[in-house]
Amino acid sequence: MKAHPRLFYALFFTITFLLIIWGIYFIDIIYELELTAHGNRPRELRGIKGIVTFPFLHGSLSHIWNNTASFFVLNGLLFYFYRSLAVRVWVISFFMSGTLLWMFGGGGNHIGASGMVYALASFLFLSGIVRKNILLLRITLLVVFLYGGMVWLMLPIKEHVSWEGHLAGAFSGAVLAFYYRKTGPKNNIYKYELTEGADEALPEWWMRGNPNHPDTIAQLAEVEAKELETKGDHTDSTNSGGFTYQWTARSKEKPQTKSKKSSS
């Protein structure tokens, strides 16, 4: 996929969520609706709705700004590098972290998108490790470099901070990183790395994912050459497993010899 559509995809989902939480924040302030009272209240019936509402609610400008900066980076990385998995990971993390917080969290009213931030950070960190993917391991190192200090806020060391929400989010991201470890981005595989040796034909699933790789181009050229030998002087096409190879055989025209004109 080209970089521009992928970047647009990542920015669209990230900015959409941020616009929603900022819109709710300003509406709450302007109209004094006290929406923060509808957060996640663990093990209380009135707090069940908070499983869905608490990530959208923030108590102060610094609170929403801190979550915005972290969410923008982490969610952008998720939707850019895990495009096929991003929506599933996001939605499951959203509901799983809220549910775990409601079931096991301490008393009080929990609000803020920090649970999602921890879920994203945990998923990005562990996914690169369990996949052993060089590119995704770089994302893991980036997460450690930027947000390594977040781990301390999963402990009850600071008042008025929902460490249970952070822990629930981190646990959700970790579970999803292991669950989807065989789905989504894959390592580049080269022909010499295949188990049966370099002479084995490339699998079609790999060629679909690497259409411009030299090994793919070489194998397609071999197939075309063999077909040209067997089909002869005509145009034909063969479809195999989702790949369509087309060619036009050129007729071998004999060079025309120019007749010499006799001069009188």
pLDDT of 239 strictly over 60: no
pLDDT over 80 at 5, yes or no: yes
Q: Where does residue 244 rank: exposed (0-12), middle (13-18), buried (19+ CB within 10 A)?
A: exposed
Q: Which two tokens stand for residue 68?
A: 């915005």
Listed in order, strand segments (DSSP E) in the chain are 235-240, 243-248
Q: What is the pLDDT of residue 234?
A: 52
pLDDT digits (tens, 9 = 90+) for 49-87: 999 999 999 999 999 999 999 999 999 999 999 999 999
pLDDT given at position 95: 98
Mean pLDDT of the chain: 84
Q: Between 209 and 190, where is the model more confident?
A: 209
Amino acid at 152: W
pTM above 0.75, yes or no: no
Cα dihedral 119→24→61→39 (10° resolution): -60
Range from 5-9, 94-98, 170-174, 249-253 carrying the lowest mean pLDDT: 249-253
More confident site: 234 or 176: 176
Domains in the chain (CATH in brackets) are 3-179 (1.20.1540.10), 191-240 (no CATH)
pLDDT score for 199: 56
Could you give the CA distance from residue 170 to residue 214 in angstroms, rounded to a whole number?
41
CB environment 136-157: b (16+ within 10 A), e (fewer): beebbebbeeebeebeebbeee
| Per-residue pLDDT tens over the stretch 97-109 | 999 999 999 889 9
- Check residue 42 and give its pLDDT: 97
- Residues 6+ away with beta carbon under 8 Å from 24: 35, 56, 57
The number of beta carbons lying within 10 Å of the beta carbon of residue 231 is: 14
Quick: pLDDT tens for 22-58. Answer: 999 999 999 999 999 999 999 999 999 999 999 999 9
At 196 the pLDDT is 46
The stretch 109-135 carries a mean pLDDT of 94
Nearest alpha carbon to residue 14 among 65, 77, 61: 77
- The model's pLDDT over 181-201, given as tens digits with 9 standing for 90+, comes to 988 887 665 544 444 445 567
> How sure is the predictor about 262, in pLDDT bands with cuts at 50, 70 and 90?
very low
